[in-house]
Amino acid sequence: MIHNGNIFSFTNQTSSIPPFQTMRLPINPDIVAPDGSLVRNLLTTIGGSMAQFDLPPDEFWRKQNEKEEIVTVDANVCITIPVGTQFQFRTIRHKPFVAVAITMPPWPGHSEAMLRSGIWNASFIGIENSSTKLTNSIYQLFIIVIFLIINII
């Protein structure tokens, strides 16, 4: 805390404050999701976790009970995916679709994702077509409540 130019810290709270974490985006994915997207696990804290999803050549489909919709995702589109929601995302252009997901509480592991019937066929791009393998790319950020989408131009 800064007050009148002086820096103060609260030593009685340091045990509950997690340490700083820093990492680079991994080149290789940790797993291939049931929908074919390449998943790279990012940072995890006590309260949540983050992962990046990379899908080949922007629509997002979600279904919960009888409610179903397709959302066009682009710059500054925000969406949520409540627990138990079936969903798929895909690109409709020739650019990779990259999303970053934040889960709270932290993602419990690979067994949490279950393959369900969606409205589109899954496609598998392989690491050779991953966005982290592309060079001289310009990143354009798209923010979604749960996904931060990065389109590689």
Question: What value does the mean pLDDT of the chain take?
Answer: 70
Q: What angle do CA 126, 149, 152 make, to 5 degrees?
A: 60
Residue at 14 is within a domain: no
Q: What angle do CA 14, 15, 20 make, to 5 degrees?
A: 65
Residue at 52 is within a domain: yes
- What pLDDT, in 10s, does the model give residues 14-33? 456 778 899 998 889 999 88
Identify the domain containing residue 79 by its residue range: 23-152
Residue at 3 is within a domain: no
**pLDDT bucket at 41, cuts 50 / 70 / 90:** very high
Q: Quick check: 52 and 40 in contact, CB under 8 A?
A: yes
Residue at 148 is within a domain: yes
Residue at 2 is within a domain: no
Pairwise CA distance, residues 83 & 8, whole Å: 40
- What pLDDT, in 10s, does the model give residues 120-144? 776 655 545 545 443 323 232 333 3
